[in-house]
Structures are given as structure tokens and as C-alpha cells.
Amino acid sequence: MSSDIPKVNPDALPPGTVVGGCWRLLERLGAGGYGAVYKVETTYDPGRYFALKLSREPYEPRSRRELTLLMDKAVHPHVVAVHACGRWPDVVSGHFFFVMDWVPGPALHLWADLHNPSFQQFADAARRLSLILDALHVAGVQHRDLKPEHILMRGPHGDPVLIDLGSGDYAGAPTLTTGPLPPGTLHLRSPEAVRYHQRHWRRPEARYVATTSDDLYALGVCLYRAATGHYPFSPEWPTDVLYAAIASQQPPAPSAVNPRVPTALDAVILRLLEKAPDRRFETGAQLHEALGLALREHPHEAWEAPLFEWHEAVPAEATSAHARRTRRPLWPTHTHRPPSLARAKLLRLWDELVGLVRPPPKPVPHASPGKALLEGKARRVYPRRRRALVAAAGLATVAGLTMLGARASGAWGNTTVQVGFEATTAVGQKMAGPAEALQTAPAAAPPPAEPTP
């Protein structure tokens, strides 16, 4: 193998770099957990744009997993398509890349913030999303990292397209996860995934198997964010507080944050966010049907209203259509605050104690929600195990209180794999995460990091 092969940094390639012989880089769209994404054009047909994803490591198994999903398992008109793949700069030992559709549209939350669609348009987009997920789930595919940045809204009316299946999985795929939870984003984890992690993070053999219910819960978080301008549980909270809130705290109804939300839509989003998976919709098809019923339940006028009020433009801006900004509602901090850090640690301690006497369930890959071994009914004490729990509680409490005192001065260990990303553009395959739209009025600050008990 030649020593003349240049070393490259996939995260910082300059514009004009030609990858794979014909793909000219125009700009970096962003960086994910396993690679960087660039807007490219072909050298022989300039002006025809694509997105190129270049893996950070030469042998990144999740990049090959994503390619398998996009080329075979998850082929769908509303999932980005792959058009080419290869290795670069060396065809044998270089970084793996693949080229896919470039979607020139904003992410779901930015579409809501910037374009301020009507609730009818919002509900229509949600119905399409539900059918996209349903088709993937029927094919045995789980997205596992569904978030607003991974839902791009194509065209003037907001036609959703799913991107970034780097954390995805499919039936029969080999296990790549090395920790209890698969890669994902903390504030979009389902309650049952959070409880599994809190109970079994010390067990090296424990592996949580994501199901359709995890994707549907994450979709509920995405819809909540788009309809209200806020996440149900702030990603700015400390990890222990965030996990405690996801596992045990009810979020305010969307209409309590944004009074413009129709009550029927309220009920659908809240059902997606139920703590127990058996109380959510079982399939995307059920969600699609529920949204259709909600549309028929309210008068037409309620659905024609825009998501948010328009911010009054100053006279100098009134001539520009792009100067209009939405006024996103404030978070109701006086009624909905995060759990205290002390309570969060006690809840985690309790879950660890339960995990000592309840081993993790044996993985059943991609079982239907009705048959999956979930941790949704986490706190139920089964009669056969009641005596064991009571007997273990005495010894475990002593050890647990000692552990709690030792950790009281610092944060608890977090072993969850987090998919990080960075964005440099407002449209394309990777969208801004923490940053909000520039053309929206400031939202309320999240509740304080030092919450009240």
C-alpha cells in the first residue's frame, strides 16, 4: 500500500475538493456522530446538487449500516435516496462515503418557526410522517434517532423527508451497540429506554432493543416542539434531571404552552408522549387515523389558523416579506418546573435498586409493541418477586445510601451513547440543533438548571 496516500480530515475539507473522482465539495452542511456531510455537485454537470456523507473513520460500521438501510431496507419516496458510494482518497483504505439526495428545505422545527404554517398544514405533515414511519416499521426498520433536525420539509407546502439513519437498525442486523442503549439524543429518549438505562447501566451484557414505540414517542417530541416552540423536557437540563423528568413527569399540554393548538391535536400529541408504551399508538397507521379524526373534530377555522402569532414588524422592515417573525409563546415556568436534582438522584437510586433484583429482559429484536419486552411498566412489583424485593431492599438501601452520599458532591456517571452533531447551514442534510431560527422572536429561557423541589 503506497505511503503517498494523503491523510485527510473529513470534518474540515475545503470547498473545491474533489472526492471520488467527480464529486466537487461546495460547502459543509454539518457533522454527525460518525461523519461529516457536504453539499456537492458533479464535475461534469455543475449545478446539480447532492449531499455527500464522509465517515470520520476509514472503517466505520455504522456508515455501512446506514448505506444498507438507504439502499435496501428503508427505500421510500420520503427517505433520502443513495446514488453512489466509494472510498476516498484511497479506494481500498480510504474513508467510506456515499452520495444521496440533497434536500433544500428546513428542518421541521425551523419550518414551523420561519414559515408559520397553518395547523391544517402541520397536521397534514404529521399524517405523512406517521405513514413514513409505519412503512419503515413494517419493513423491520427503526430510525432510533428521530428528531426535528432529521425531518426536512421539502417544497413550499412542507413535504417531509427523513434523513440520517446512522443510528438506525433493521431486523436481523448484527449488534453494534457497546452500551446499554443504542446511539441517540438524550431529550428524545423514551421513558422505557431511560428506565432501562437507569436500571441496567452497570451490566456490561445489557442491551436495550428499540421498538416502534420509541420512534413514535420521539415523533411526539418533534411535533410538540414544532407546535409550541419548546421541547417537553429541555435539553439544557442536567442529565439526571432530564432523565427523571422523562421517566416520571407529565409535560404540560401543548395548548397550555401555545393556546392556539386545537384540543384534538393536543390529545394526539399527549398520547404519543405517554409514559407507558402500551398507552401510546401502536403503529404509525393508528396515529394517521387519529390525526384524521382530529381534523374532522374541530371547525375548519381552527385548523386554518397559523401556529404562532406574527411579530409586529417595525416600519423599516414592513416592506420585506422576510422581515416577518413569529412570536413563539413563553414556557409556563410558574406551573411546570423540572424535578429537583435531589429527587432526580433518588429516582435513579430506586431504579438501580430495582435493577439489582430484576435482571434485564432477554432481547427480542423488533417485536411488535404488543409483544415487546419493554420497561414501560417499570415500577410494578410482581407477586413472585415481592419477597425478593423486600429482602433485597434492606441490604440494598444501606449500599444505596452510601453510594448516594459518595456521589452527592458530583454528577452521576452517564454511560449513554450520545449522537452529537454540528451544523453550518440553515438547509440541507444536517440542521442546527441548539441554535434556533434567526428570524424568530426570542423564546422564553428554559426553566432554571437549579429547579425547585
Looking up residue 55, the CATH number of its domain turns out to be 3.30.200.20
Specify if 430 maps to a domain.
no
Is 429 part of a structural domain of the chain? no
- The verdict on whether residue 53 carries a ligand-binding annotation is yes
Sign of CA dihedral 365, 366, 371, 376: positive
Please tell me whether residues 95 and 124 are part of one structural domain: no
Q: Last residue of some domain: 35, 67, 101?
A: 101
Indicate the pTM of the whole model: 0.79
Are the CB atoms for 67 and 98 separated by under 8 Å?
yes
Considering its fold, how many domains does the chain have in total?
Answer: 2
Q: Are 132 and 88 members of one domain?
A: no
Regarding whether 338 and 354 lie in a shared domain, the answer is yes
Amino acid 397: pLDDT: 46
| Alpha-carbon span 251 to 287, nearest angstrom | 20
Which set of grid coordinates corresponds to residue 46?
A: 455543475
Within this chain, do residues 215 and 265 fall inside the same structural domain, yes or no? yes
Q: What is the pLDDT of residues 170-226, one digit of tens each?
A: 988 888 877 888 888 999 999 999 999 888 887 888 889 999 999 999 999 999 999
Same domain, 273 and 204: yes
**Which pLDDT value is given to residue 204?**
81
Sequence-ordered alpha helix ranges (H) in 358-434 = 383-407
Give domain status of residue 395, yes or no.
yes
Residue type, 176: L
Residues 136 and 81 in one domain: no
How many angstroms separate the CA atoms of 204 and 373, rounded?
A: 19
Q: How do residues 270-318 score in pLDDT, each as one tens digit?
A: 999 999 999 999 999 999 999 999 999 878 888 999 999 997 655 555 4
- The residue range of the domain holding 341 is 108-312+320-415
Q: Do both 92 and 158 map to the same domain? A: no
Residues contacting residue 21 through CB under 8 Å, at least 6 positions apart: none
Q: Are residues 221 and 341 in the same domain?
A: yes
Q: Please check whether residue 2 lies inside any domain of the structure.
A: no
**Would you say residue 432 lies in a domain?**
no
Same domain, 166 and 205: yes
Is residue 193 in a domain? Answer: yes
Q: Which of 101, 125, 147 is the last residue of a domain?
A: 101
Q: Does residue 427 lie in a domain region? A: no
- Return the CATH number at 396: 1.10.510.10
Residue 67 and residue 165 in one domain: no
Q: Is 254 a domain residue?
A: yes
What local confidence, expressed as pLDDT, does residue 365 receive? 55
Any idea which residue has 414544532 for its cell? 226
Q: Identify the residue whose cell numbers are 440542521.
A: 431
Low-confidence spans in the chain with pLDDT less than 50: 1, 318-319, 321, 367-417, 419, 421, 424-425, 431-453
Maximum Cα interatomic distance, the chain, rounded to a whole number of Å: 74
Do 275 and 394 have their domain in common?
Answer: yes
Same domain, yes or no: 86 and 235: no
Decide which of 56, 79, 101 is a domain's last residue: 101
